[in-house]
Amino acid sequence: MKFEQLPGELSVEFVVGDEVSLSVDFDRDISGYQITAPIYRTQVFAVGAGGVSSGTDIGQVVGNWTVSVTDAANGTIALGLTETQTEDLVATQAYRWYLRWVDTSGYTRTVLSGPLTTRSP
């Protein structure tokens, strides 16, 4: 027997410097939910001659999606990153993003997650 409570997987890929937006529909009422979507650094592909410099800690939060609830009763949200935010996500590093909510009862749940991959223009 096995119990799993894992988030749904949603991979995101875009060009550094582009504005990014997507809509997600949870098909449930999310009125009153607190929703966050942090982006974590998971790997550094290229390092300088001295190794990984300070500020490139694996597991560090390097950004956050802007979360807008567009239709709470039907569970629709919009996620967005500005051009400036995507410029900070360099192609020599790997990232993973997580969408978490705290429902009206105070329960925290990670509902979506996935690799976030950037490409140089």
Q: How far apart are CA 21 and CA 88, in angstroms?
A: 16
Q: Residue 113 above 70 pLDDT? A: yes
Does residue 70 lie within any of the structural domains?
Answer: yes
Q: Using one digit for the tens of pLDDT, what is the confidence trace for 19-46? A: 999 999 999 999 999 999 999 999 877 6
Q: What is the pLDDT of residue 92?
A: 84
pLDDT (0 to 100) of residue 46: 60
Flag whether 19 is in a domain: yes
Q: CB within 8 A of 112, min separation 6: which ones?
A: 7, 8, 9, 10, 24, 98, 99
Domain count, the chain: 1
pLDDT per residue as tens digits for the range 38-82: 999 998 776 555 555 545 678 899 999 999 999 999 999 999 999
In a domain, 2, yes or no: no
| CATH number, position 61 | 2.60.40.10
User: Is residue 59, in this structure, part of any structural domain at all?
Assistant: yes
Q: Is residue 3 part of a domain?
A: no
Residue 15 structural domain = 8-119
Report the DSSP beta bridge partners of residue 79: 22, 67
